[in-house]
Amino acid sequence: MKKLLSYLFTLGLSITAMAQGDNYVQDYTKYQGLALTPPMGWNSWNKFACNVDENMIKQMADAMVSNGMKAAGYTYINIDDCWHGDRDAKGFIHPDATRFPSGMKALADYVHSKGLKLGIYSDAGSQTCGGRPGSRGYEFQDALTYAEWGIDYLKYDWCNTEGLKAEGAYKTITAALKKAGRPLVLSICEWGTDKPWEWGQNVGHLWRTTGDIYNCFDCIKDHGTWKAWGVMQILDKQEGLRQYAGPGHWNDPDMLEVGNGALTPGEDRAHFTLWAMIAAPLIAGNDLRSMSKETTEVLTNKEVIAISQDKLGIQGFKVSGEDGLEIWAKPLDKGDWAIVFLNRGTLSKKINFEWAKQKVYDDINKLDAAFATTNYTIKNVWDKKDKGASTTKKAFVADVPAHDVVALRLTKKK
């Protein structure tokens, strides 16, 4: 009886709420149906830091179209920190008038006219990491402004947030974005401090799992009060997180350093391939206007992108790692698998991989590659000459160069 009464009471409350319309109801959940595969795009930070302006952003949009990246699936042109000017007397934010004289709406219109989407950056605290106005206390106003400008993606950072709790702060901005009414991808940039993977799934579409990436393959950059991490260090920090990723909600190991000069072509390949394997967002961070042929080939490799964008959205996993040679696996649609051999060492390594003897099993999704009983065709996705003629009936023999990968797509043989 008590239960029934309490049920009737709750029902009564929700009917009253509905009758009043939703004016007083906050919806703390993200826009659904976005980022069903890991987002692909470009962001200004890794290469340009605070040096952003509207001409450069327009040129990046042009370049993304002309260099084949748009055709390969890249969509977002994201302005990171430092686009901001001041708030006006009513509290509305304006872009820096010298750097963005035409305003953000005009810039969004331009990017949209190229068939691309525009992303912007703010911070849950009083100031951004670059010392520009943050959104704390202005969340609903800022969300409204972004909607009016036509913004499609918001990266929301975590500097200067004294006294705030991450989950609440990110729920506040997501409620504000919902109220503003323009569907947009929310990128939670909280560096993994408060385990956003545990509460972020309904709040945002991706969440940073670590501090910032540093432009090196295998090193740690100590900034004194904080550290930045090389590609291999970031990769290692993803352990234990794959269960939280899936369509619409991704672990974000930070943006790509491919083409930024510090990595060798092999390291660029390895970085890009591993980010595809762990279903990371593929957000390029280099100058798209002046890409080398090698960089273009890495960023637009259709077969690697297909591994990243596979519709199952399963984050891959490390099968084994001995002597610096790691084997990674990712289950793909229709029973396919991606298998990657990563050589973290400084000497080339020979592999002789006898499929039938290998156990490759995804214990979260209960998927077994079953090499002993299933035959697959093999396609080496970085080898243009490979026509995919060999199968897993025979051992796979190859050299994996130092700091490089050999990446395979296996397709069930009919």
Question: Which of 80/139 has CB closer to ligand GLA?
Answer: 80
DSSP letters for 127-149: B-TTSSB--TT-HHHHHHHHHHH
Is position 157 annotated as part of the catalytic site?
A: yes
Task: Return the residue of 152, 157, 267, 287 that touches ligand GLA, per CB under 6 A.
Answer: 157
Nearest Cα to Cα of residue 121 among 85, 179, 167, 82? 82
CA distance 54 to 45: 15
Q: Quick one: which segment of 102-110, 128-136, 289-297, 362-370 binds ligand GLA (CB under 6 A)?
A: 128-136
Minimum CB distance to ligand GLA, residue 189 (Å) = 5
Q: Does 186 bind ligand GLA (CB under 6 A)?
A: no
Minimum CB distance to ligand GLA, residue 5 (Å) = 50
Q: Does 129 bind ligand GLA (CB under 6 A)?
A: yes
Q: Does 227 bind ligand GLA (CB under 6 A)?
A: no
3-state secondary structure of 347: coil
Nearest Cα to Cα of residue 230 among 210, 246, 213? 213
Question: Which of 212/326 has CB closer to ligand GLA?
Answer: 212
Q: Supply angle C-alpha 252, 137, 181, rounded to 5.
A: 65
Question: Which of 214/355 has CB closer to ligand GLA?
Answer: 214
CA distance 104 to 145: 10
Q: Which of 53, 80, 142, 157 is catalytic?
A: 157
Task: Return the residue of 189, 277, 291, 305 that touches ligand GLA, per CB under 6 A.
Answer: 189
Is position 386 annotated as part of the catalytic site?
A: no
Task: Give the Å distances, CA to CA, from 30 to 203, 245, 253, 305.
Answer: 5, 15, 21, 26
**Segment 76-105, which members bind ligand GLA (CB under 6 A)?**
80-81
Q: Does 283 bind ligand GLA (CB under 6 A)?
A: no
Nearest Cα to Cα of residue 285 among 74, 139, 138? 74
* Residue type, position 329, single letter: A
Q: Does 130 bind ligand GLA (CB under 6 A)?
A: yes
Return the number of other C-beta atoms located less than 10 Å from residue 293's C-beta. Answer: 7
Minimum CB distance to ligand GLA, residue 376 (Å) = 38
Please list the active-site residues: 157, 212
Residues forming contacts to ligand GLA in the complex (CB under 6 A) are: 45, 80-81, 128-130, 157, 189, 212
